[in-house]
Amino acid sequence: MIDILLYALLAGLMVAAVCGPLGALVTWQRMAYYGDTLAHSALLGLAVGLVLQANLQYSVLFTCLFIAVVLFTLQWWRNIALDSLLGILSHSSLALGLVCLSFIDNQGLDLNAFLFGDLLAILREDLLNLAIICALVLGLLWRYWSALVAVCAHAELAEIEGLPVQRLRLLLMLMVAATVAVAMKIVGVLLITAMLIIPASAAARVARSPEQASLLAALIGAIAVCGGLAGAWYWDTPAGPSIVLSAGALFVLGQLAPGYRRN
Amino acid sequence: MTETALLRLDKISLKHQQQSLLSNISLSLSAKQIMTIIGPNGAGKSTLIKVALGLTKADSGTIYRRPGLRIGYMPQRLSLNPLMPLSVSRFLAMAKSNTTQIEAALARTGIQHLRNRPLHDISGGETQRVLLSRALLSSPDLFVLDEPAQGVDISGQTELYELINALRDDLGCAVLMVSHDLHWVMAQTDTVICLNQHICCHGHPEQVSSDPEYLALFGRRHAEAVALYQHDHDHQHDIHGDVVCEHKHHD
C-alpha cells in the first residue's frame, strides 16, 4: 500500500520539477493555449495507440510531438487569428479523441483516468518512463535556459544577437509536448496546463529573476503535489484535481505576499 | 559606393494579404551615414526596418549586409510579459556580455542607478535608455533605431536624441532610424527617406522638406519651418495614400 503512495509522490514530484521551469517559459511566451491544444491531442494519441495496438505511452508521446510540429508551422498561416485556430484545433482534437475512443471496444480502459489523471495507479515501469522524459527535458532546459529566456524577453533582439529563435521556439514546443504526454497519467488531459501555468504564475510575483521564478515554481508545484496527495489519501478525493486545487490555493496565498515589483 | 555600403536594399517589395506594405524600395547606407525614415502612420516604416534587419522576409528584392556587420537594434518598445521577473542588468546580460561591459553601457546611457531595478518598474524614458544600452553592447557598426523617443516626454526626448548623437560620434557608426521628430531629422540627418509604402522622396533634409510629396504627407504646418518652393508633382496621392499616377521611383 505504501508503494502506491511512494510511486505517486515520486511521479508527482518529477512532473512538478519539470513543470516549474517549463511552465515559467510557457507563461512568459504566452503559450498557455498551445499547452491546452497539446494536452487535448494526447487523447487522440491514446485512440491512435489503441487502434494500432501499440504501446500507449509511445503513441501518446509521438502524437503530441507531431501536433507540436504542426502547431509550430501554423504560426506562418495568416488567414485566421491564431487563438481561434488553436481553440478550434484544441477542442476538435479532444472531441475526435473521445469519438474514436467510443468506437473502440476496450473494457479495461478507464477514460476518467486519462481525463483527470490517476496518480495512485502509477506503476514501477511508468515511473521509469517518466524519469527518462523528465531527465531529458530538464537537461535540455539546463542547456538552453539562457537562450530560451532571452527569446521570451525579446525575440527580435535575441534574433539580431544571433540566437536561432525559431529553432528555440520549436524546442520549447517539443518539450511541452513531451511533458504533457508523460504528465497525462498524473493530472489528466484536462488539467495538465494548470500544472504548467499555476505554479509559474504564483512564483512570478515574488521571484526576482527568471531562475528564481522557475525554481520557486517547481517548489510550489511540489508542495501542491504533496497537498493533493494528502487530500487523496485522507479524504479520498481524486488526486489530479486535488493537486491542481492545492496549486490554485498556493497562487491565491502568493498574491498576499509582498511582490518584487512595485506596480 | 556599392563596395563601401554597410547595408543595401534593392527593389524590396512586401505584401500582406493583397495589401502592399512596401513597394519597390531601394536604399543604400554607407559607413557613418545617418539615414532617417519618416512617413505617416502605417507607411511601413517599422516593416522596412525589420526587412533591413532580416527579421521579416521580403517577397521580392535583394538585401545586402556587409559580412560581419555588427548591428545594435533598438526596438520600438519593450513589451515584456508582466509575469516575467527581470532586472535591468539581467536583461542586458542577454546580449552575451559580462559585468564590466554592462556597467560601461549603463554609465554611457546614464542609468547605472537602475541596474538592479525590475524592468517593469522603470519609466518610459528609462526603458528607452535600457534598450539603447543593450544596443550598445554589440559595439555596433550600425545603429538601427525604431522611434527611439516613443513614450518619452518632451524634455526627455531632447536628451535622448542628444545622447544618441553623442553615442554615434563616439562609436563612429552609421545610423538608420525611424523618427517622428522632424526638427531633429532636419537638423541631424544626412539622408531622409520619406516613406509611404513606396519611397516618396529622398535626399538631404533641405531637399526633402521642399518636395511636394513631403508637403502632401506632412502638411503645410510642418513645412512652414523650412523653405518652401513650388514645382511640378510627378504623382499624387489619393485619400488612402495610394499613388494616383504611376511614375518612375527614385532609386
Residues of A in contact with B81 (CB under 8 A): 27-30, 152
What strands, in cross-sheet order, belong to the sheet with B60-65? B19-30, B5-16, B60-65
**Which pairs with CB-CB distance under 8 Å and at least 24 residues apart come from A122-125?**
A122/A4, A122/A7, A122/A8, A122/A11, A122/A185, A122/A186, A123/A7, A124/A7
Q: Distance from A134 to chain B by nearest Cα, in Å?
A: 24
Q: Rounded distance, CA B189 to CA B177, Å?
A: 10
Are A74 and A87 in contact, with CB atoms under 8 Å apart? no
Residues of B in contact with A263 (CB under 8 A): 120-121
Q: Quote the pLDDT of residue B205.
A: 74
Q: How remote is the C-alpha of A154 from its chain's centroid?
A: 24
And the C-alpha cell for B17?
494579404
For chain A, say whether B134 makes contact (Cβ under 8 Å).
yes
Q: Rounded distance, CA A183 to CA A177, Å?
A: 10
Q: What is the pTM of this model?
A: 0.85
Closest of A124, A207, A57, A160 to residue B118, by C-alpha: A207
What is the mean pLDDT of the segment spanning B15-27?
Answer: 84
Q: Rounded distance, CA A47 to CA A231, Å?
A: 31
Q: Rounded distance, CA B109 to CA A189, Å?
A: 50
Say which of B71, B87, B94 has its CB closest to residue A208.
B87
How many Å is the Cα radius of gyration of chain A? 18
State which residue of chain B sits closest to A206, comparing Cα positions. Answer: B85
Whether A113 is covered by a domain: the verdict is yes
pLDDT at B231 over 60: no
Q: Quote the pLDDT of residue A202.
A: 92
**What value of ipTM does the predicted structure carry?**
0.84
Q: Rounded distance, CA A41 to CA A47, Å?
A: 10
Whether A227 is covered by a domain: the verdict is no
Whether A126 is covered by a domain: the verdict is yes
Residues 16 through 45 of chain B touching chain A, CB cutoff 8 Å = 16-17
Do B84 and A208 make contact, defined as CB atoms within 8 angstroms? Answer: no
B75, amino acid identity: P
- Percent of chain B surpassing pLDDT 70: 85
Residues of B in contact with A78 (CB under 8 A): 16-17
For chain B, say whether A151 makes contact (Cβ under 8 Å).
no
Whether A154 is covered by a domain: the verdict is yes
pLDDT in tens, chain A (263 residues): 678 888 889 999 999 999 999 999 999 988 888 888 888 888 888 888 888 888 888 888 999 999 999 888 887 776 667 778 888 888 888 888 888 888 876 666 777 788 888 887 888 888 888 899 999 999 999 999 999 999 999 999 999 988 999 999 999 999 999 999 888 878 888 888 899 999 999 998 889 899 999 999 999 999 999 999 999 889 988 888 899 999 999 999 888 877 766 55
Decide: residue A242, CB within 10 A, 0-12 exposed, 13-18 middle, 19+ buried: buried
Q: Quote the pLDDT of residue B246.
A: 41
A139, amino acid identity: G
Whether A178 is covered by a domain: the verdict is yes
Q: Distance from B128 to chain A by nearest Cα, in Å?
A: 14
As for how many domains chain A has, the answer is 1
Q: Quote the pLDDT of residue B222.
A: 56
Q: Quote the pLDDT of residue B232.
A: 37
Q: Rounded distance, CA B222 to CA B199, Å?
A: 19
Whether A251 is covered by a domain: the verdict is no
Say which of A160, A260, A262 has its CB closest to residue B85.
A260
Q: Distance from B95 to chain A by nearest Cα, in Å?
A: 7
- Choose from A121-125, A146-150, B163-167, B173-177 the range with maximum mean pLDDT: A146-150
Q: Distance from A261 to chain B by nearest Cα, in Å?
A: 6
Say which of B17, B118, B138 has its CB closest to residue A161.
B138
Say which of B84, B118, B121 has its CB closest to residue A152.
B84
Q: Quote the pLDDT of residue A124.
A: 83
Residues of B in contact with A150 (CB under 8 A): 94
Q: What residue spans of chain A are helical by DSSP H? A: 2-28, 32-52, 56-74, 82-103, 111-116, 124-153, 155-160, 165-187, 192-206, 210-235, 239-254
Q: Which of helix, strand or coil describes residue B209?
A: helix
Q: Quote the pLDDT of residue B40.
A: 81
Query: Using one digit for the tens of pLDDT, what is the confidence trace for B64-99?
Result: 988 888 999 999 888 888 889 999 999 999 987 788
Q: Distance from B249 to chain A by nearest Cα, in Å?
A: 30
What CATH number is attached to the domain comprising A36? 1.10.3470.10
Q: Quote the pLDDT of residue A106.
A: 66
Whether A127 is covered by a domain: the verdict is yes
DSSP A119: G
Question: What are the φ and ψ backbone dihedral angles of B29, each rounded to 5 degrees?
Answer: -120, 125
Domains recognised in chain B with CATH numbers: 1-57+168-251 (3.40.50.300)
Residues of B in contact with A214 (CB under 8 A): none
And the C-alpha cell for A184?
497525462
Question: What's the domain range around A148?
Answer: 2-189
DSSP B49: H
- Percent of chain B surpassing pLDDT 90: 18
And the C-alpha cell for B140?
555596433
Q: Quote the pLDDT of residue B1.
A: 45
Closest of B16, B17, B13 to residue B51, by C-alpha: B13
Mean model confidence pLDDT for chain B: 80
A29-54 burial, b at 16+ Cβ within 10 Å, e below that, comes to bebbbbbbbbbbbbbbbbbbbbeeee
Do A30 and B96 make contact, defined as CB atoms within 8 angstroms? Answer: no
For chain B, say whether A257 makes contact (Cβ under 8 Å).
no
**CA–CA distances in Å: residue A14 to residues A131, A143, A150, B93, B99:** 7, 18, 26, 30, 35
Q: Rounded distance, CA B105 to CA B213, Å?
A: 40
Whether A200 is covered by a domain: the verdict is no
